[in-house]
Structure 1
Amino acid sequence: MTGISDDRALDAPPSTLYLIKQLELAVRALMDDALRPLGLTTLQYTALTVLERRSGLSSAQLARRSFLRPQTMNVMVQTLEERGLIRRDRDPGNRRVLVATLTEQGRETLREAAPRVGEIEARLLSGMSDRRGAEFRSVLAHGVSALADEAARRRIPESPGE
């Protein structure tokens, strides 16, 4: 390549996807650090917040909503259950499936985590007006929705019992 092409590449703004990945990495590092004293990882916190919003999910459903592979979620669910943060019971609609719910200890852990996570979000949005912060969230939600639709379109059919 010539020096001119290299200079143009250096002057080009980073791609949107690159910026999103950099944001994800920064958020993940800060959240792991903030949650470590509570004995949680960011991934465990995410799973707990999913169960807080929608109780009674199978491990496979929880994996999809937490952006993890089912195998990874199975190990995490066992850990969260051993720590007393979630409970698993037979699904009344399908006795072969175990569904997870938060325990009171899990709810208390989320209450303790909330200000720590809130500080990170406040830092992310600092310097933005309320309107701009709302627009930022709206744009992110649009991106998640658009790509979730594409991911669902490409998904291999689920096996029975998941």
Structure 2
Amino acid sequence: MQNSSPVDPPHPADDVLDHAGYRLKRAHAALRGAMDQALRLHGLTVPQYSCLEVLAARPGLSNAELARATFVTRQSMNVVLRGLQDEGLLTRPATVDTGRARPASLTDEGRRRLHAAQGDVYAVEARMIRAIPADRLAPLLEDFDRLAQALAD
């Protein structure tokens, strides 16, 4: 049987829309929308762009490693990788000598498309960051890390 007594909110808020989680989600949705719009010009989705960005920094990652790094499921990453491979933006071996992981690497076209999209994505991030006083950015990033760690424990 469920307890029907009221539950106190985690912090003072006059409205549910003032809760920290809601505000964080609103900021995330705004970022995602702006990135979607910027990436549409390059024929990429946010997961595809994230995959290209991570592979540029860490070539040879497996599907599972890319999924963790880009916050999607392994099944979704399979779809992303297949699409990027079909567009000639990355390569993966058809088979591997040991295990099942097929490491992915960017092609020259993948690096070119990533580079073209980065300017627009970085402009979105710069626009977002300009809304925060410069001396508050480092503490904000540390707070994001603490929030993530608190929920991972």
TM-score (norm 2): 0.80
Q: How far 1:12 sits from its partner (Å)?
A: 6.9
Q: Find the counterpart in structure 2 of residue 26 from structure 1.
A: 30
The one of 134, 143, 146 equivalent to 1:139 is 143
Gaps of 5+ in 1: 1-7, 151-162
- Displacement of 1:95 in angstroms is 5.1
CA deviations on 1:18-74 (whole Å, 9 max, x unpaired) are 111111111111100000010001111111111122111111221111111111111
Secondary structure of the corresponding residue to residue 97 of structure 1: coil
Seq. identity, %: 37
The answer for the alignment partner of 2:46 in structure 1 is 42
Residue 83 of structure 1 and its aligned partner are, at CA, apart by: 0.8
* Residue range with higher mean Cα deviation, 116-125 or 133-142: 133-142
CA distance in 1, matches of 2:75, 2:131: 40
Q: 2:108 aligns with which of 99, 104, 114?
A: 104
Q: Offset of 1:138 from its aligned partner? A: 2.3
After the TM superposition, which residues 123-162 of structure 1 pair with which residues of structure 2 at under 5 Å, given as runs? 123-147=127-151, 149-150=152-153
Q: Is the 8 A contact 2:88 2:109 kept in 1?
A: yes
CA distance, structure 1, for counterparts of residue 75 and residue 105 of structure 2:
19
Q: Deviations along 1:129-149, whole A, 9 cap, x unmatched?
A: 3221222222223333444x4
Please give the residue correspondences for 1:57-96 in structure 2 after superposition, counting only pairs within 5 Å. Answer: 57-89=61-93, 90-91=95-96, 94=98, 96=100
Match of 1:119 among 120, 123, 140: 123
Answer 1 or 2: which has greater strand percent: 1
Give secondary structure in 1 for the equivalent of 2:122.
helix
The RMSD of aligned alpha carbons is 2.2
Q: What SS does the corresponding residue of 2:104 show, helix, strand or coil?
A: strand
Stretches of 4+ aligned residues off by more than 6 angstroms: none
Q: Distance in 1 between matches of 2:80 and 2:58?
A: 17
Q: Quick one: distance in 1 between partners of 2:25 and 2:108?
A: 34
In structure 2, stretches of 5+ residues that fail to align are 1-11
